[in-house]
Structure 1
Amino acid sequence: MTSTASSQPPYKQLRRPVTDRIVAGVASGLGRYFAVDPTLVRVVFAVTGLLTGGLALLAYPIMWFLMPEEPADAPAWPHPAQAAPPTVAQPTAAQPTVAQPTPPTYPPAA
């Protein structure tokens, strides 16, 4: 029996990337998984670490240990499986355009 396995899994995977990392790639992997900027994840790590007196920073090495590393042949971010951002829809017959009011014109001063 033949298998038609694709290189892209049918679900999102939480992995540490090998290209976009500062320390271990945990924040970058979380950013990719939740589709947010990895810098935002790093800032959230820092703020929660300060607010909890450093207790929340224990999560980083735990996630470093638990999150698998992304394979070297994985596509670069953003992954091609993600859809492109929606574009502005052009008006159709079902969506008539609204006429914009024209500014008033005044007669020239005499």
Structure 2
Amino acid sequence: MEKKLYRSNTNKMLCGVCGGIGEYFNIDPTIVRLIWAIFICSGPGILAYFIAALIIPLDEG
């Protein structure tokens, strides 16, 4: 079965992007959120998050 990246329905804070990335790579989404906040969450990082929220489909399952 092919693995696909989706935004998480169950593990989300804003749009489910970090939860979906955590589920895809099988790591704790809190770690993904911390990395996002520390290294990426500047002006362009915030924009990248919301672009990812628009591009990555929501998990329907």
TM-score normalized by structure 1?
A: 0.51
Unaligned runs of 5+ in 2: none
**CA RMSD, Structure 1 to Structure 2 (Å):** 1.3
C-alpha displacement of 1:19: 1.5
Q: Which structure's residues are more often helix, by fraction? A: 2
8 Å contact from structure 1 (residues 18, 70) kept in 2: yes
Larger Rg: 1 or 2? 1
TM-score normalized by structure 2?
A: 0.87
Write the distance in 2 (CA, Å) between the matches of 1:34 and 1:49: 18
1:66 counterpart = 2:55: yes
The SS at the match of 2:38 is helix
Partner amino acid, structure 1, of 2:49: Y
Query: Percent of counterpart pairs with the same letter?
Result: 36
C-alpha displacement of 1:61: 0.3
Write the distance in 2 (CA, Å) between the matches of 1:17 and 1:31: 9
Partner amino acid, structure 2, of 1:41: V
What's the counterpart of residue 6 of structure 2? 15
What's the counterpart of residue 48 of structure 1? 39
The SS at the match of 2:59 is coil
* Number of aligned residues: 61
The SS at the match of 2:4 is coil
Q: Which has the higher contact order (CA 8 A, sep 6+)?
A: 2
Greater than 6 Å deviation, 4+ residue runs: none
Write the distance in 2 (CA, Å) between the matches of 1:23 and 1:11: 26
Unaligned runs of 5+ in 1: 1-9, 75-110
